[in-house]
Structures are given as C-alpha cells and as structure tokens.
Chains A and B, each alone.
Chain A
Amino acid sequence: MEPVILKGNREGIVVHLDCNLDLQVLAEKIIEKFTAAEAFLGSERKVVINTGDVVLDEGQAQYLKNVFSSLGVEVRKIISEIDKKENVFSATQETAEMLDMINSDQFLAAGPTLIIRKNLRSGQRIFHEGSIIILGDVNPGAEVIATGHILVIGTLRGIAHAGAKGDPGAIVFANRLQPTQLRIGSFISRAPDNEEVVPVEPEIAYIKNDMVIIEKYLQKK
C-alpha cells in the first residue's frame, strides 16, 4: 500500500498513513505528498489521520502532529481501524466460533464435510458420511442425514439426523431451528403438537443426559 493516501469524505480530508513504516521515513513521505497535493488541498487545512491497523502512542502521535503543523495543516483527530474492527468482530463472532467448531478434531473425525449451497426442498434427501453444512433452508419434507454434525445456515424446517451411525456427540445447528423432527444418534425428538414455536435467533441441539437439548446458540459461552 502507498504510505500516504489522501481521501476526501463528508467530514473533510482523511489521511491514511502506513504507520508500520519508520516514522521519520513516513514524515518525509507526508511532506512529499502534501507538497505535491497543494492544489488538491486548497484552503482545506484541517485533516483527520487514519493510522490503519496501528495504534500510535502519545509520543508518536505528537511527532506526526508536528510534521503536519510544519506544513501548516492542523490535525483534527487521529483514528485507527482497530476501533471499527472490534465492532465488526463482535458481529461475526458467531461465524468465528463456528469456524472454530468446524476446525475442531471432533468435527473432522466423522469424515469430510459436505457443503451444500442451495435450499433443500420437500422430497430431497441428503445422506453424507461426515458433517453437512447447508447454506440455505431445509424445507418441510426434506431430510438431511449426516454421520457427523449438521449446520444449517438458514431455516431448518424439515428432518435432520446428526450422528446417524449412533454418535450421541453430534450437534445440529440452525439459524432458525424449527425442524419437523430432530434426530441425534439414536435419540428422536419432534416439534410440540399444539404450539408453533418460531425461533428468532440461532439455536443448537445436542444430547445431554440422554435428552435432546435445544438452546440459544449465543448463550452457550
């Protein structure tokens, strides 16, 4: 990446700096860039600095401010991508945890994982030795049978059978878990008869004390 990039946005000019460079080298680059960009800057003498994935300490920040003030430019604030990234991370934490789970030994032990990128519709049946990940919905009347785990990144409305060769350690995960019937190992559970439960968040099902337990995925920390 270029060490110094100028970008304009609604709030004014943002200077993206590659702070992995030696600060003195960076200072030279800044002076070079700003001299060349005099026309672009015009009367705009206030900037925001974005330090990318580096967080500056106070001494470094002051050093850079001095460099800018020698150019007659005032630094309004210094930001980094780190603050933003933390937000992004918490949003995808779910996914990250899932990746951990997928990479775990237990997950791989059952066999290679099959990834299906479509909706499974009534009458369609998938059997796989290993785990199955479905990027889509499993509709009523469809069956997903895996000797390992079953993860549905979508709504599971049909039948899922995880650990189909008798592994009670298998799990079933769905963004919306509302199966007609859920089987794990040799255990079978079904949806309650008279109440329609509409889940609003991801849930996970597993066997505990010989019972099928369904709980909110994010609670399980």
Chain B
Amino acid sequence: MAETTSAVSKEEALKKRSTMALVRSLLPVAGLIIVFIIFNTLTKGRMLGKLSMAMSSVYVTMIASTGVFFVMTMGGLDFSQGSILGMASIVVCLVSKTSIPLAIVAGIATGAAIGAINGFFYVNRKIKSFIVTICTMFLFRGIIKYLTSNAPVQGSAKLIMLNTDRLKVICTLVVVCIGFIAFTFTRFGINLKAIGAGEKAAKFAGIRTDRMKFLVYVLAGAITGFAAFINSIKVGSVTASGGNQVETQILIALVLGGMPISGGAKSRFTNIIIGSLLYVVLASGLNMVGLSTQTQQLIQGVVFLVFVAVFADRESLSVIK
C-alpha cells in the first residue's frame, strides 16, 4: 500500500513471516531430537546401542537425496530414483566381477544415462517432470524384474568385503560436501534456485535454463548411480525389489528436512542432512518398537502429510514442473 504509511505494517508482516520461517527452520531439527529421544525411551536405549545398524541405511538415502535435492530446488520432481538405484546396482554387481573401480564408473554411467532420458523428455519434449519420471520408474522397474526373474544378480565377493562403516561414511561425506560447496558457493546453486523461483525470468537474466535442467537430471542420475555402489557393497546382490520405493524415501526425507516441495529460493542444503537422519531414525525406530509394516507405513504417511502441509509454499505450488 502507500509507501509511507505501510512501512510499519510491512515490517510487522515481515516479522510475522520471519517467525513462521523460524518455526519452519527449527521444526526439522526439533523433530529429529524429539523423535530420537522418544524412540530411545520406548526401546530403552536399544536404538542408541544399534546406532550403526540404524545408520547403515542412511548413507544411500543421503547420497541419492543430494541429487534429488538439486532437481527439486529447480522445481522438478524425480520418481525414477528407486529404479535408477536398482538398475545401477545390477550393473555394479555385474561389472564388479571384472573390476571394482570399473563397477563404480559403470554404476555412475548407468545412472547418468537414465537421468539423461528423464532430462531429454522433460526438456526437449516439454513433458512435466513427474510424468516423465513416473514413466521411467515403471520402465526400468520392469527391466529390473526381467533381469532378476530367475535369480538375484550376485555381486562379486570382493564387493561385500568393502562393506565397512568407514568407507560408507567417507563416501557419503565426500558427496555431501561437494554438493554443499557447489550449491552454496558457486553460481550453480543460485542459478538452480532462480530456475525454481521463476524460470522465464531466470532465462532472461542469462541462465541457460534448458541446458541446466537437462544436466541436473543427468547429475541426479549419476549421483544415485554412485549410491548404487554403496547399496551393492551393503547387500551384495540385487533382487526384483532392489531400490524399490527409494524415490518415496528420498522425497519423504527431503520434506522432513524442511524442503519446500516446489523448490525455489527457500531450499536449504541442510534439508538433505537433517531430513535423511530424521527419516532413518523414524523408520528404524518404528521398526525396533515392533510395529507391523502396515502400521509403520501408516505412521510414515501421516508424518509426511503433516510436514508437506507445513512446508508447502502455497503461493508457488503451481510451479512444480
């Protein structure tokens, strides 16, 4: 409204909004601590004792979330992550019989290739990202089932020997750190946020939006392809359900971490870390308490819904691409 009279009220409104923002930014951290304490009390400290077991499932989620985080910041979605993880794991297992380093590269290449398919249809054919990635999810899920129909694809024995916490922690840290630096301290992050917050305007400010969108899908695929290596050393073989529902786990993790579902400038890198931890604590906690799978899924659904309701930026929801 009028610039002179409104100065006060605008400040008021901003203050109100910043309190809301503070609540939003603290909720995931507070949630993590509360959930952790609750489950430790319920399991009488068993969870703390089995922390490393609980943590063993966090690595894959956290690495894969990094790529999806970029995709979501840009305003897109990616439902094909589970299938990418499954496909790449199969490739890692097969190639591991020849050479482990080659297996890592092959896994990343597989992921990048599937990401490129997503990117091509999303950017060049202009199909909404969630439709494209749901299609590729089914497509590659079908291929995984076909490849594993007789027996699980076994990895080389050398793979499982690599299964140490140290290696997994280091790999996760490296991915997360590189992601953090790229997102926070380079043009990459600001450009991504700009595309998520207003693609057309971003284009007119000189960002090569189409190239960027394509490359981010390739990158997300490649990162998950690397996560497939971590996944393979953990399980050693891939069954028909390999990587199943990982896409939802990632989505839930990011939203639990405070990620706005429509992306944009409010995306924070900490969303990945806190979100993955919160998800893993929640999932393994529910498991340890001894709830049935059905009840666990029910509770996860409710929690997910509550977080989406809190974090959805209603003004920009229409921009999910």
A interacts with B: no
Interface residues, chain B, CB within 8 Å of chain A? Answer: none
